[in-house]
Structure 1
Amino acid sequence: MPYHSVIVFPLSYWLASSAFVFWSALLEISYLDIQTNLTIKRYCECGVYGRNSPLEGASGRLMMPIQDPTGCGGLPIYSRNNSIPPWIALVKRGNCTFSEKINGAQAEGAAAIVVYNVEGTRNETMHMSHPDAPGMVAIMIGNGIGLEITKLVNMGIPIEMVIDLGNPHGPWVDTYWLYFLSVAFFIVTAASIGYFVFISAHRLVNLRMQRRSDDRLKKDAKKAIKQLVVRTVKRGDPETGLDAQTCAVCIESYKAGDVITVLTCGHIFHKACIEPWLLEKRTCPMCKCDILKALGVENEDEKNEVSNTYSYPPPDVTVITVSGGEPLYEVPLTGPQTPEPQEHQHRYVNDAFEEDAQDRRG
């Protein structure tokens, strides 16, 4: 007679149950095998205590109702001899409430009651509710196990049962739920830590790159500042006149003895005012002229980028320089023998040059 140690609960149980924790029951079933004359004992954690049942143990011989296996109806329900030791009622689910079954068995002196489930439920159980019968140990077992036991009882084989308190189960105390929650918590924690480490490392790398870039630009700015014109204002200079402009950084007028710096755009400032500004901004506060570009001061990365861009000139290119006092631009032209003229031809528009050519034609 096999007994299952795993209890299966249908979805309807979880939806209908208001209790989040239930207790399993440990069963020890022993009887005498009439063929071998040996005592057979079976153990399983295959019962569930009722919601209103005392969480206590019980023991005794199993007894079934006389007629109705559900244990419903008036007294007497069970046929027993007074010489029988403490006994446990074994009834089938159905026909009346759990409280009626429990009260009927308790009225006839049962030490506990075992309710087995109906057909078609295999070994599924439920957390039965019996608020009107809270004083006696009441458990439920599956239909498969219940039918095996009733078959032996109907054969006249005395069966002794010991009921003991098992383990708590439920969404928050069941072992599988604890494992699941532990693994989920570990995964979420590890993912959060990993994300935090990634973001922190990314920010550190960006900050380091930004600092290096700022350091290079400050070095270039220092080189550019050394090339700027610095002079001392003298009495009678235009900067000391009534219509002279003030320093755009400190908003103060220039006076004789002030040291000023002349930027590439022609704007002048106090030397002590403009140099800290140029180290950080590298542009004129008034017209935003970039002193690095104006003075031709470039960092190494820009030089490498420019050199790589123009390191491979197109082959067989004729360059014509159009000048009007100084070079204006260069126009590359392809020769008549270029095999792929569409790829190498470059058109540069010079409106002044075209207007001059039209005037000559006219």
Structure 2
Amino acid sequence: MGIPNRFSALGFLLWLALLEFCCTTSADVLLIGNNVTLSFAAVEANFALPVKGSGVCGVLYLADPIDACSQLVNEVTQLPNAASPFALIVRGGCSFEDKVRRAQKAGFKAAIVYDNKADGDLVPMAGNSAGIKIHAVFVSKVSGELLQNYAGSTNVELWIIPSFEYSAMSIPAIFLISLLAISTVLATCFFVRRHRIRQEGPRAPRVREFHGMGSRLVKAMPSLIFTAVLEDYCTSRTCAICLEDYSVGEKLRVLPCHHKFHALCVDSWLTLWRTFCPVCKRDARTSIGEPPASERTPLLSSSPASMASSSALSSARSSVESLLTVQIAGASRPPSASQSPSLSSIYLQQ
């Protein structure tokens, strides 16, 4: 059995034990006659046959001897109208179990034991349930003395009706049960989660990729207070991030590419998202001394391929100029002004 199952079983058994400790099975003894109806509180014995359903009905007889500490003299037989004989017994002299067993042996179907002390509390009678086949309840001394007046009377009915109530310790016990139940559930969840983590094995920590710049580098970039539109760039009058026109007095941040934005907007962009300009894509970490970006060419590239292409174009132009110079210098007769093309026109044709 796993650890979570052990905790669940332990909590369940403890809950049952506390429930049985704090709750007692009670009953009501009703006496119904032609012009009288009496009700008496009672507690069922924990070793006798429990009262179920609508209860049991019978006729009350006084036990002889009254304490039932010896064999009863008044043995009863089957009564008419299918009524069951009940024995009224006083507490004391011997155990509850002995009293109930002697009442059963004498033919009674239920034993009503009343207290011998006036200020006594109703307690569940304890004993061994082996062989006990009759009902048994415990009532107070006052109730027993009143019931004696109707012992042997066949014109009244005596009912034992089951009921259920909590003892005086029910509130603390319920609180303790709830606390233990919550603790058991939490402990079960903890160990189940721990068991799953062990089965799955260690996981690689998730590292969040950071794409932004440091706040110090961003704050070191130049800024200005907007007063009026001084240039004809789109970022000179409108922030390309929030798409709002600048207002007089707002602080603008100037990137190395000379594009301007709201300081708050571009600072968030550079520190949390990317390190390049939102308009021209130039890296904001480059030097300000590089040529400024043009609004007509929003995508600038500084890749090695573009640099190689520019170098090849410059080399080709130098070669053409050298070739034309050699041809003009080696001619035997200089051509007339009308026949010889100018160097600038040849260069343009090339």
Alignment TM-score, normalising by the size of structure 1? 0.38
- The structure number with the bigger radius of gyration is 2
